[in-house]
Amino acid sequence: MTSFSFATATRIVFGAGSSADLPALLAGIGGRPFVCTGAHPDRFAAVLAGVSDPATWPVAGEPTVDDIRAGVAAAREHGADVVVGLGGGAVLDAAKLIAALVPNTGDVLDYLEVIGAGRPLAEQPLPFVAVPTTAGTGSEVTMNGVVTSTEHGVKVSMRSPSMLARLALIDPELTLGCPPSVTASSGLDALTQCLEPFVSPFANPLTDGFCVEGLQRAGRSLRRAYHDGADQAARTDMALCSLLGGLALANAKLGAVHGLAGVIGGLTGAPHGLTCATLLVPASAGTVAALRATDPDHPALARYARAGELLSGTAGVDALLDWLAETVRQLQVPGIAGLGITPEQYPAIAEQAAKASSTKGNPVALDVDQLVAILTEAARH
Ligand SMILES: NC(=O)c1ccc[n+]([C@@H]2O[C@H](COP(=O)([O-])OP(=O)(O)OC[C@H]3O[C@@H](n4cnc5c(N)ncnc54)[C@H](O)[C@@H]3O)[C@@H](O)[C@H]2O)c1
């Protein structure tokens, strides 16, 4: 029997130039916007030109617990009735968390998974409007926000269906200025977020459709967007791939790449997209090897083979792994040593990743030794 539930943003608006509609769309949602931007707020000043009375708040990097505390205080002081995230995934997550916490009492830690009390939100969050400027995370349609606790050395989520965006406004033109390194790491994150839910035991017919479409678009456009950032068609494909990955992961979960990446990011502060990019090939190969060893008829293997076809035009698991390896090579993704971890740390990373919520959608449970082998393999590149 097929049964599933599916949740997403209240409204999704997609298209080149669509960010020009932000003022009009926002006016129907709230009158005192608190706008989270990236470290360079001037970069997208034109998008905010027609927005009345915004308070802008720059988010310097992937948000920490202290950043969120400060943002919540600033949004309350402004009397915000809507929170906008205009930036990469880090900015979107900060805005999503601030929107959730402004009307709620207590501290960020009360609501966080793993290191906090995981308390449910008593009050409805402020409306959250997501305007992504990278094509990677899909955070515009996911129900979690990721935050780094420097005190605990981990990245964790706060999660609730009520945190889904009131409006996801995706304008691929906003990604035209992404430098090749950001295009590479965010693009490989988007691709992974279409691959992991596709082979997940929680996949359903809706998420399958999104993954197939997203993988096809990444196959024809990721390398192009990297080599020529001004290629509008490729940028559009990657913005869609990111959106489709977000729709899929929020409803079918992720696997070993994200499980390991979350732990490494918390330990070292290494950028999320880059961490996923370094792990994509070894974690996929390790999962395939574990499936072949334990259950050669496992349906996930046929899905990996189909993903190979969608990305490379040739069906097969080996075609998939070859295409991924060649793409990672062309996109000049550095090895795992560049993330700031050493082999002595692998067992502890593997132990945490084996328990991480992000690993739950892997098609086969990987033990600590198998995860250490993936990290060791990642270090060989
Ligand atoms: N909530 C979710 O579902 C979800 C999913 C995946 C990742 N994440 C989180 O998202 C974050 C990563 O997001 P990301 O990969 O977009 O990276 P990012 O937001 O950290 O941005 C990467 C870099 O690109 C720059 N940048 C952004 N847009 C640009 C543009 N148009 N032109 C030039 N530079 C630009 C930023 O200033 C930054 O220096 C992490 O914190 C991760 O944990 C969240």
Evaluate whether residue 320 is within a structural domain: yes
Evaluate whether residue 216 is within a structural domain: yes
Q: Output the pLDDT for position 77.
A: 97
Q: What are the tokens at 352? A: 């945490």
Q: Give whole-number Cα distances, 337 to 117, 149, 154, in Å.
A: 34, 23, 19
Would you say residue 66 has pLDDT above 70? yes
Evaluate whether residue 108 is within a structural domain: yes
One domain, residues 228 and 359:
yes
Distance 132 CA to ligand 1 centre (A): 9
Would you say residue 381 has pLDDT above 80? no
Check if 136 has its Cβ closer than 6 Å to any atom of ligand 1: yes
Would you say residue 154 has pLDDT above 90? no
Evaluate whether residue 1 is within a structural domain: no
Distance 36 CA to ligand 1 centre (A): 13
One domain, residues 268 and 333:
yes
One domain, residues 156 and 183:
no
Check if 188 has its Cβ closer than 6 Å to any atom of ligand 1: no
155, 174, 193 - which closes a domain: 174
One domain, residues 200 and 185:
yes
One domain, residues 157 and 211:
no
One domain, residues 104 and 197:
no
Q: Output the pLDDT for position 357.
A: 79
Evaluate whether residue 6 is within a structural domain: no
Check if 88 has its Cβ closer than 6 Å to any atom of ligand 1: yes
Instruction: Report which protein residue has its CA nearest ligand 1's atom 34.
Output: 178
One domain, residues 74 and 201:
no
Evaluate whether residue 166 is within a structural domain: yes
Q: Once rounded to an integer, what is the mean pLDDT over residues 190-200? A: 98
Q: Which atom of ligand 1 is nearest to the CA of 176?
A: 31
Q: What are the tokens at 222? A: 């990721």
Predicted TM-score (pTM) of this structure: 0.97
The domain containing residue 327 runs over which residues? 176-379
Distance 182 CA to ligand 1 centre (A): 8
119, 142, 174 - which closes a domain: 174
Q: Output the pLDDT for position 361.
A: 94
Q: What is the pLDDT of residues 221-272, one digit of tens each?
A: 999 999 999 999 999 999 999 999 999 999 999 999 999 999 999 999 899 9
Distance 91 CA to ligand 1 centre (A): 7
Helix (H) or strand (E) holding 148: strand 144-149
Would you say residue 2 has pLDDT above 90? no
- Which of 47, 62, 92, 134 for a ligand 1 pocket mutation test, highest count of atoms within 8 Å of Cβ? 134
Instruction: Report which protein residue has its CA nearest ligand 1's atom 14.
Output: 89
Instruction: Report which protein residue has its CA nearest ligand 1's atom 3.
Output: 139
One domain, residues 310 and 181:
yes
Would you say residue 61 has pLDDT above 80? yes
Instruction: Report which protein residue has its CA nearest ligand 1's atom 12.
Output: 89
Distance 337 CA to ligand 1 centre (A): 21
DSSP-assigned beta bridge partners for residue 157: 146
Check if 142 has its Cβ closer than 6 Å to any atom of ligand 1: yes
CA dihedral 116, 62, 228, 330 (to 10 degrees): -70
Note whether 191 and 137 are within 8 A (CB): no
The CATH number for 67's domain is 3.40.50.1970
Evaluate whether residue 7 is within a structural domain: no
Q: In what order do the strands lie in the sheet with 82-87?
A: 12-14, 167-170, 128-132, 82-87, 33-37, 55-58
- Which of 137, 191, 278 for a ligand 1 pocket mutation test, highest count of atoms within 8 Å of Cβ? 137
Q: Which atom of ligand 1 is nearest to the CA of 145?
A: 1
Q: Which atom of ligand 1 is nearest to the CA of 39?
A: 37
Helix (H) or strand (E) holding 82: strand 82-87
One domain, residues 103 and 168:
yes
Banded pLDDT at 1 (limits 50, 70, 90)? low
Note whether 147 and 65 are within 8 A (CB): yes
Instruction: Report which protein residue has its CA nearest ligand 1's atom 42.
Output: 272
One domain, residues 188 and 140:
no
141, 174, 207 - which closes a domain: 174
One domain, residues 258 and 168:
no
One domain, residues 139 and 194:
no
The number of folded domains in the chain is 2
Check if 59 has its Cβ closer than 6 Å to any atom of ligand 1: no
Q: Which atom of ligand 1 is nearest to the CA of 44?
A: 31
The CATH number for 193's domain is 1.20.1090.10
Q: What is the pLDDT of residues 3-55, one digit of tens each?
A: 888 999 999 999 999 999 999 999 999 999 999 999 999 999 999 999 988 99
